[in-house]
Amino acid sequence: MRHWPAPEAAYATAPSIISEIGWTFRAARDYLHGIQGREFWLRKAALLDRIAVTDDEPAGGDAATLAVEAARRLMEIDHAAGLGPSGYADGPYTPDHPDSVREPRGYVRQEYALWIRHH
């Protein structure tokens, strides 16, 4: 049984990777000036996941490692905020669910698919 949306489904209506790199760069400046945000970490984690999915390196490559690290940061933020099953309370897996802990990038795909549907 597949728990998470496939990358193609989660990112089907996402802006281009180049566009998201630009957004992440601009948002990082705000983040570095003390403005934290779930959206920043969600979009950064999703961007890194998308790059890792298209990366020719094996699953243990740099892109995959960075994607997992960003996903874990998003999960920490969501857990600290006490978010329900998702940021919009309609996803099945919480950030501390065992499946989320095992597959942080899957959690990002779930949350991104929900987020993009609402934006």
pLDDT digits (tens, 9 = 90+) for 1-26: 468 888 888 899 998 888 888 888 88
* pLDDT band, very low/low/confident/very high, at 40 (cuts 50, 70, 90): confident
Instruction: Show Cβ contacts of residue 43 under 8 Å, excluding neighbours closer than 6 positions.
Output: 20, 23, 24, 27, 112
- 8 Å CB contact between 46 and 11: yes
Whole-model pTM: value is 0.73
For the chain, the structural domain boundaries read 38-117
User: What does the alpha-carbon distance between residue 89 and residue 40 come to, in Å, rounded to a whole number?
Assistant: 19
pLDDT digits (tens, 9 = 90+) for 58-82: 555 788 999 999 999 999 988 888 8
38-54 and 17-32 helices cross at what angle (nearest 10)? 140
